[in-house]
Amino acid sequence: MANIEKIGVVGAGQMGRGIAQVAAFSGYEVYLFDVNQEALDFGLDFIKKQLDRGVSKEKWDQKTADDTLARISGVTDIEGLKDVDLAIEAATENKDIKFKIFKSMDEAIKPEAILATNTSSISITEIAAVTSRPQLVAGMHFMNPVPVMKLVEGIKGLETSDETFAAVKEASEKMGKTFVSVRDMPGFAVNRILMPMINEAVYVLHEGIASVEDIDASMKLGTNQPMGPLTLADFIGLDTCLAIMEVLHEGLGDTKYRPCPLLKQYVQAGRLGRKVGRGFYSYEK
């Protein structure tokens, strides 16, 4: 089986920086790539702050934090990933962007490397098909916040080899995650269940059935979820929620997945959730 020592992470956003942190913490040599220097610096700084917070909370010592950070190199040229054994893409949830990135990863990264995607809903088979190595492409769907959430949803595309799938399972487990195996169908398992629930919560708001606060209180206190569905939507990003609902609607062709018009309107208004300071709630910057 492929021996994974160096991991590349594509995209220094919310998910990418979390994956980079967890991979480096687990002993991997990590190359964090982002085209945007500012986004990369922000991502690296965020990781440093998370590691320092762990020291002050006595989760780990200063040496562990320093060693983890030292294992992460930031790069702004995809060529910087050429020697990695596994590259995990965590860019924006948009098909055309992912296809473009996978083509450039396929060209830049050594041919025997595994190319994984953190997509939350786009077909792994379709992403793999834009590369020259579909047998080496798999889905590794981490949950947000990556350092806290214990799951990696593993997705096997039509052409993914058993060896590739075993290697991404092993890497996920080395990162301290529980790996579940899911077929390549729209939304996989987590979002096939989670997103219709969030979308339905937006319908409950849209139809004036309950307020934002009361919807969240109902599900938090009534069903013991750690966050209400609208808080969770803000946390994930309303643009991501909408993109996933659209994939479910289009991919499964069933009207029960139609995105709520209010969700669309919030995205049109730029109320994308916590990351921009405004979604269903307002957040202090």
Least Cβ distance, residue 3 to ligand CAA (angstroms) = 29
- Residue 131 binds ligand CAA (CB under 6 A): no
Q: For residue 75, with 0-12 CB atoms within 10 Å meaning exposed, 13-18 middle and 19 or more buried, which class applies? A: middle
Q: Can you tell me the distance from the alpha carbon of 239 to that of 251, in angstroms, rounded to the nearest whole number?
A: 18
Q: Name the segment binding ligand CAA (CB under 6 A); options: 34-42, 73-81, 84-92, 144-152.
A: 144-152
Q: Can you tell me the distance from the alpha carbon of 191 to that of 248, in angstroms, rounded to the nearest whole number?
A: 9
Residue choice 177, 191, 234, 266 for contact with ligand CAA (CB under 6 A): 191
For the segment 61-120, give every residue that binds ligand CAA (CB under 6 A): 120
- Residue 11 binds ligand CAA (CB under 6 A): no
Residue choice 73, 92, 144, 218 for contact with ligand CAA (CB under 6 A): 144
Q: Does residue 206 carry a catalytic annotation? A: no
Least Cβ distance, residue 225 to ligand CAA (angstroms) = 7
Q: How far is CA 129 from CA 78, 124, 138, 220, 225, in A?
A: 20, 8, 11, 41, 38
Q: How far is CA 45 from CA 18, 41, 67, 152, in A?
A: 12, 6, 15, 25
Q: Name the segment binding ligand CAA (CB under 6 A); options: 84-92, 129-137, 164-172, 189-197.
A: 189-197
Residue ranges that bind ligand CAA, judged by CB under 6 A: 50, 57, 59, 120, 143-145, 147-149, 190-191, 194, 226-227, 232, 236, 240
